Amino acid sequence: MSRHPWISTQGRRLSLAALLSLGFVASASAAPVGLQATGGWYTDNSNFFLGAGARFGLGTITVIPNAEYVFVSSAKEWTLNVDGTMSVLPLGIASVYVGAGIGWMTVNPDRGDTNTDTVWNLIAGAGLNTFPFKPFGQFKYSIKSGNDPFQFAVGVRF
C-alpha cells in the first residue's frame, strides 16, 4: 500500500510516463543523446543494484530517465527515476556535477503487499570525458518517508 493513498498506482505510472515524455520531447531538439549503465550499492542495507538509463543533454543540464533493479532477498525491489544533473566544474578531461530528481521505489516482498514510495533524489558525482566509454562515479541520496537510502554508483556513459 502506498504511503500516499490519494495517488493511485495508475496515477503514478501516468505521472512517470508524462515526465519521461516531457524529457523526450524537450530533448528532441537537443544535440547530445546517449545511454548510461550503472552498478553499485545502497549503503543502508548493502544491497547491490544494476541500472540503465537514457541521457539527454540540454546545454550544461542533462535529463536522465533511468531504472534500477535492487538485488534483495525475499523480495523484488526496483526504482524508476527522472533525474537532472548540471555540470558545475566542466573540464576537458573530467567534469563534476550536482543534480536532483524524482523517483518511485517499489518493494514487492515474497509475502505481503507491494509498496511504492515517491522519492526525491539529490545527486553529486564526477565523470571522465576522454574515453569512448565515459566512466563516472556518483552519490545519490533518496529522500522518502522513513528510511532514506544513500547510494554509491559507478557506471559508464556512451
Write down all domains in the chain, each with its CATH number in brackets.
9-157 (2.40.160.20)
Q: Please state, in angstroms and rounded to a whole number, the distance separating the CA atoms of residues 155 and 103.
A: 19
Q: Please state, in angstroms and rounded to a whole number, the distance separating the CA atoms of residues 151 and 45.
A: 10
Residue with cell 510516463: 17
Give the pLDDT mean for 80-101.
94
- Phi then psi dihedrals of residue 122, to 5 deg: -115, 130
User: Tens of pLDDT along 105-126?
Assistant: 999 999 989 999 999 999 999 9
* Percentage of residues in the chain having pLDDT higher than 90: 61
What's the mean pLDDT when you consider all of the chain?
85
Would the CA dihedral through 100, 27, 64, 115 be positive or negative? Answer: positive
Q: Which residues pair with 122 in a beta bridge?
A: 100, 141
The yes-or-no verdict on residue 14 having pLDDT over 70 is: no
- Between residues 23 and 74, the one the model is more confident about: 74
What is the per-residue pLDDT for 2?
A: 45
What is the per-residue pLDDT for 85?
A: 97
Residue with cell 495517488: 7
What is the per-residue pLDDT for 26?
A: 52
Straight-line distance from the first to the last Cα atom of the chain, in angstroms, rounded to the nearest whole number: 38
Give the pLDDT mean for 73-88.
95
pLDDT band at 9 (very low <50, low <70, confident <90, very high): low
What is the per-residue pLDDT for 149?
A: 86
pLDDT band at 45 (very low <50, low <70, confident <90, very high): confident
- Between residues 84 and 9, the one the model is more confident about: 84
**What SS3 class is residue 17?**
helix
